[in-house]
Amino acid sequence: MHKKDIAELKKRLTKNGCSFTKMIGCYVDADKNRVVDINETFLNLDEEEMHKYLEIAKKTLSGTVHNNLLSLEFPREEEAQGGKQQFLMGVRESKLKNPEIANLFFDRIIETYDYPGNYLILLFHDAYDVMTKTSDNQKLDESEEVYEYILCAICPVTLSKAALGYREDQHRIGARIRDWVVGAPESGFVFPAFSERSSDIHSVIFYTRNAKEPHNELAEEFLGCNPKKTATMQKNAFENLVQQAMDTHPEASEATLMDIQSELQEMMEEQAAQEDESELILHPSLLKSVMEENEVPASLAKTIEEAYEEEFAEEPPVVDSLIDKKTMEANAKRRQQQALTKEIEALKQTIEEKNTTIAEKDAVIEQKDLDIQSARIESGSTEMVAGEGEILLQVNEETAEQITSQIIDGRTCIVIPLEGDEHVLINGETFDE
């Protein structure tokens, strides 16, 4: 069963595209009593009623494949004479025109269906002329086969809520008359299944509105098929076994499940990029490879593998069923935060290294200046570096004690006595008398 097969069937369920030949049904109360029987030629229904019934039929083909729509196979014994698959074949071949077969059909559902309230059982018959399609998906004016099938929908019937309303007969506002309203289907099925645009009498398309609690008694006892876990049930089971494994391994990272799901998501995206429409199954060997890729500790990986093989021994799940969108969003944010933190740490390290280098260079230059000054002072030389309006002298202590000021030619002068080999540098040049 593929999404495109479901879409093809569902697309036809319009007033102009529908080819339902017959519709029968019965209304069942909470005590499992048949209250009303329905027997209609579908195309003779009033337009408004027809639309409402078509909506119910569409709902029975709605939802997600592997979650709301499951492909169930008949065991070999159910395909033998007297088996449940053989009974469904008889219902289909009767085209819903045999009252005895119809009554037996409804009675069997009522016996097995576990529901505490009132509900409506509807059964449609259809014969779909499947047109041949070319490789570019264009239809040709010739038929491949006639896909004849029955569609069953089981809908809850609930009492409308109490409210005020306009009582036209009394010309006043008063309590509204409460009536029983048919809701969207809770369960249903299509037999035979429609697979690869062809009839598959060995399986049935099973519908459940509630993916957490499907009516497995309908699948098992009425249809005679082994029930399957929905994608929701598989995802919850997978998350639980990983979490339980992590609880027994303190060294495990809390991000283990996120990393595994992210890896699976990337594998699906790669497959989609290659236009590969086949389903990616998470076999134990693939799970092992994914955990090795994400460096899951060996002891934890072994515990997860053992629990996985036990949980999904009958049928490994499709990878898509295990992907949790909320988990993926949370993991994407976590990885983004980790990357940002690494960038900030790297930037801090770079700044610290640059600051250290600058400080070291400044220290070297400062030390060189001190060394030069010390050398000049020790050598007894003087050096004047003039800023604006000032003169700087650098001399040793002995020379400093001999410096005096005198008035020469009316100007104040600084007199520095020179001995023997002492000399003066002015702006880097030797001063000669």
For residue 185, pLDDT beyond 50: yes
pLDDT per position as a tens digit, 91-113: 999 999 999 999 999 999 999 99
pLDDT per position as a tens digit, 250-273: 777 777 778 888 888 888 888 777
337 vs 60, residue with greater confidence: 60
75 vs 425, residue with greater confidence: 75
- Bridge partner residues of 208 (DSSP): 187
Q: What H or E segment, with its residue span, contains residue 47?
A: helix 47-59
pTM of the predicted protein model: 0.71
Tokens standing for residue 263: 């890896």
For residue 415, pLDDT beyond 90: no
Average pLDDT taken over every residue of the chain: 84
Mean pLDDT of all residues in 182-209: 94
Nearest partner of 331 among 255, 265, 426, judged by Cα:
255
For residue 383, pLDDT beyond 60: no
State the CB neighbour count (10 A cutoff) for residue 188: 26
Band the pLDDT of 422: cuts 50, 70, 90. Answer: confident
Tokens standing for residue 44: 């003779």
- Return the pLDDT at 376: 58
Secondary structure (DSSP) of 76-120: GGGGSTTSHHHHHHHHHHTTT--HHHHHHHHHHHHHH---SSEEE
Cis peptide before 227 (omega within 30 of 0): no
Percentage above 90 pLDDT, the chain: 42
- What letters, b where the CB count within 10 A reaches 16 and e where it falls short, cover 238-261? beebbeebbeebeebeeebbbbbb
Contact by Cβ (8 Å): 2, 64? no
Band the pLDDT of 328: cuts 50, 70, 90. Answer: low
pLDDT per position as a tens digit, 294-324: 888 888 889 999 999 999 988 888 888 888 7
Domain ranges in the chain are: 3-228, 233-323, 379-433
- Return the pLDDT at 389: 61
Which range has highest mean pLDDT (255-259, 337-341, 391-395)? 255-259
Phi-psi region at 121: left, alpha or beta (left = phi > 0; alpha = psi -120 to 50): beta
Contact by Cβ (8 Å): 402, 393? no
- Return the pLDDT at 382: 45
- Return the pLDDT at 165: 79
Mean pLDDT of all residues in 50-71: 94
Mean pLDDT of all residues in 25-29: 96
- Return the pLDDT at 396: 73
- Return the pLDDT at 252: 72
- What letters, b where the CB count within 10 A reaches 16 and e where it falls short, cover 381-402? bbbeeeeeeeeeeebeeebeee
For residue 190, pLDDT beyond 70: yes
Contact by Cβ (8 Å): 292, 313? no
- Return the pLDDT at 323: 81
- Return the pLDDT at 38: 94
Return d(Cα 360, Cα 8) in angstroms, integer.
76
23 vs 141, residue with greater confidence: 23
For residue 402, pLDDT beyond 50: yes
Tokens standing for residue 240: 């639980």
pLDDT per position as a tens digit, 126-183: 999 988 776 655 566 666 789 999 999 999 999 888 878 778 888 888 777 778 899 9
For residue 378, pLDDT beyond 90: no
- Return the pLDDT at 214: 94
Percentage above 70 pLDDT, the chain: 86
